[in-house]
Chains A and B, each alone.
Chain A
Amino acid sequence: MVESASAEATREFLMPSLGADMEEGTILAWRIAPGSRVSRGDIVAEVETEKAEMEVEIFDEGVVARILVEVGQKVAVGTPLALIVSRSPAASRPATPQTAAPTPPTPEPRPRPAAVEAKPAPPPVAPALTRERKRVTPLARRIAEELGVNAEALRGTGPSGAITADDVRAAAGAAQQPALAPAPAPDREASRQRVIAALMERSKREIPHYYLGASLDFSPALAWLEARNRSRPVSERVLPAALLLRAVALAVRAAPEINGHYQDGAFHASPALHLGVAIALRGGGLIAPAILDASEKSLDELMRSLRDLGARARAGKLRASEMSSSTLTVTNLGDNAVDFVQAVIYPPQVAIVGFGTPALRPWLDREGGLCARTIVQATLAADHRVSNGHRGAVFLKAIERALLAPERLA
C-alpha cells in the first residue's frame, strides 16, 4: 500500500530551551494564528526568559492548527505551545532546489509512521551541535510526568549524570515552595543578574581555567582598515571590533579544541563556530548572543552581524538560536580603557577570548628601533580539562598572524 500524499501528521511545537540554564519562558507575543502557514526558520513567537526577550523560530513546516499557550503565560521548557499540522514526512520534506539532489528512489511501501510522528523530539535549538539525549531514568521520567516536572531541564546527580527520581522529587519540592508564599513582583534586572551569577559561579566552581595573554601589534591591521573604510560610505565601514572577531574566527582553525562544549564529562568539539559576543545592556546587564557560523562570514558580513546583534540585544529581540548556541565567546572591552581582561568562561563553553583597549605604546620593531605602535592585549581563558597552555598559545599566535596580514582578513 503506497502512502497517500495527503497524509497529515500533527506535531507539537514545544517551548524550546533557549540556553542551558533556562527552565521556563513567558509568551510575550504570537506572530502566528490558527491557519497560519509556517516553514522552517520562521519566527513564530516572542518569549521572555529570565535572561532576555527572544524571538523563537520554528523548525517544522505546516499549518498552525491550534495555539495552546496564551500570551502572558509562563510555561516550562518542553511544554507544547502550538499544534502544527504537516503533510506526511515524505511529502513535506522541504524541496532543496539549490542543491541539485538526485531524485530519491521510490520509497518502499511501509506502514504509516503516524504513531512515531505523534511525539517528535523538541526542535533542535543548536542545529550545528549534535547533543546527546539527556539521561533521565525511566522511573524519573514517570514521576516527572506525574508531578508535572520537566525532567530534561534538571541537573542529574545519578550515575553518568543521569537525572534520577530523587532529582525530580527535589525539583518538584522546590517548585512547590514559591506557591506557599506569593512571589514578589519579578524584578527582571535582578533575575537576570541571578542567572548570570549562577552561571559564573558554576564556571568558577567547575572549570579549571588557565589564562594566557599576548600584546599584539594592531597597527598594520588598523592602517589597512582605515584605508579600506575611507573608500566606503559610513554605513558600510567596518569597526576594529569586527576585525578582531574575524581574526578569532580564522585562528580557531588552528586550535579546534577551544571551540565547543564540555558536557557529561567530555568535550564535544563543534564543527561550526558560533561566536558569542558579550554585549553590555543599558541598565548594566550583560548578554552574549552568538553570531552563527562566524567562520563562514566575511569581514563585512561579520560587521553587519555585529551591528544587527547589538541593536537587537538592546531592543530585546534576540532569537532563540542566537541565545543557546555559542561555542566560543569574545569579550571586547575596547571602549573602556582597560589593558586586558581575564574573563570567566560561559559553561558549557570551554574558552573565552578577551581584548583590551588598543592603545599607542612604545614598541621595538624588528631591527630593535624604538617606535610607537597601537597595541592590543589579547587574552585567552580556557578550560584545562580540554586544552592546555601550549594549545592556547598556538591560538593566540594564530590571532597575531591574522592581524599582521590584514589583507587576508577581508
Chain B
Amino acid sequence: MKLSYREALRRGLREALAGDERVFLMGEDVGAYGGCFAVSKGLLAEFGPARVRDTPLSESAFVGAGIGAAVNGLRPIVELMTVNFSLLALDQIVNTAATLLHMSGGQINVPLVIRMATGGGRQLAAQHSHSLEGWYAHIPGIKVLTPGTVADAYGMLATALRDPNPVLIFEATALLNLEGEIADDAGAVSIHDARVRREGADVALITYGSSLPKTLEAASELAQGGIEALVLDLRTLRPLDEAAIVAATKRTHRVVIVDEGWRSGSISAEISARITERAFYELDAPVARVCSAEVPVPYAKQLEEAALPSVAKIVAAAKGLVARHG
C-alpha cells in the first residue's frame, strides 16, 4: 500500500484513537483546522471534540495537562506545532515528565506521547525550522524517536503509546509529502534499534529523520562512482543503538554522520564520541560530519538549501574519506 508520510501519521493517529478509549489528541489547531500541517485532518469529525481537543496557545499549560492526564490513567497524545515552540514547554517536559518516575521512587510513571514537527526545507524560517531533537536526546527519562520512513511514521506511534514512560516523536516537516510502500499488515514497529537501510562496505553514512532520504540518494550517487555506502538509520536518538553504530563502523572503517542539527554539541558529536570510545581501533579515517550551517535557518530558498545538509555535501564528505590520495 502506497502512503505519504503525512497520511501514515494520520493513519497511525486514527488507529490509536479507534483502538483505545484512553487515547486522546490535543494541541494547537489539531481539531477544527485539521492540524497546521494537515496531519489530523478529519479526526475531529470522526472522534469528536472530547477526543480531539484544540488548546489555547499555551504549550506549558497543555503539556502539563497531558502529564496530569497520563498520570491519572489516560493515554494522551500532545501535539506541539514545531520543535521551536516545544521550548515553551521545556519545564514540563524536562523537569516534570522526565523526572516523575525517578522522583517518586518508581511509583508514578508518565505514559505520555508528545509529537512535534522538526527540521527545515519548507521555507518556514528560523522560528519554525530548527532541529532540536538532539537536545532532547540529552535528557534521561524520555525517549526520542525520529521516523525517517513512511513505515516508521505509521508504526512508531502505536509502540510509543504502549511505553509506560514519556516518548517524544519528531516528525520531519520536509518528509510530509514523501511517499512510500508499507505492508498491508504493517503495524507497531520496534523503537529500540537502528536499521541498515542500504548495505555497503566502503563507508557508513549514519543518519536519521529528515536526512535519511538525502542520505540514501547520496549512497546511490556514490555507488555510481564505485563507492558502496552503508546507510544506517538511527530511528531513535535516545536510547542510541550503540551496537549498530559500532557494527557499521567495524564493517566500513569510515563514517560520515549526517545530522540536520547544528554541529556544535549535537547528536552527531555524541555519535562521533561513542565511535571513538567503542571502535577507535576500527577507524581508517577521521569521522566526518555533515550538519547544518551554524546560523538560524534562513528563509530565502537558496540560503536555506545552502544551510542544510544536501546530497552533494554528503557525497563530497564520503568521497573525502574513501578517495585515495597521492
Contacts and interface: CB of A to CB of B under 8 A. Distances in A.
Interface of A: 137-142, 155-162, 164-166
Interface in B263-316: 280-286
B320 interface: yes
15 contacts: A137-B284, A138-B280, A138-B282, A138-B283, A139-B283, A159-B323, A159-B325, A160-B325, A161-B326, A162-B285, A164-B284, A164-B285, A165-B253, A165-B284, A166-B324
A157 B326 contact: yes
B321 interface: yes
A179 B285 CA distance: 31
A137 B326 contact: no
B282 A159 contact: no
Interface residues of B, number: 14
Contacts of A157: 324-326
Contact of A139 (B253, B320, B324): B253
Contacts, number: 42
B282 A139 contact: yes
B285 A159 contact: yes
A161 B325 contact: yes
B283 A137 contact: yes
B283 A159 contact: no
Contacts of B281: 138-139, 141-142
Given A157-B324, A158-B284, 8 more contacts: A142-B281, A157-B325, A158-B324, A159-B286, A159-B323, A160-B325, A161-B325, A165-B284
Contacts of A141: 281
A165 B324 CA distance: 12
Most chain-A Cβ atoms within 10 A of its Cβ — which of B280, B320, B325? B325
Contacts of A160: 325
Nearest to A162: B285
Contact of B320 (A138, A159, A161, A166): A159
A11 B58 CA distance: 68
B325 A137 contact: no
B321 A156 contact: no
Nearest to A161: B326
Given A139-B253, A165-B253, A156 B326 contact: yes
Most chain-A Cβ atoms within 10 A of its Cβ — which of B253, B281, B320, B326? B326
A157 B323 CA distance: 9
Contacts of B253: 139, 165
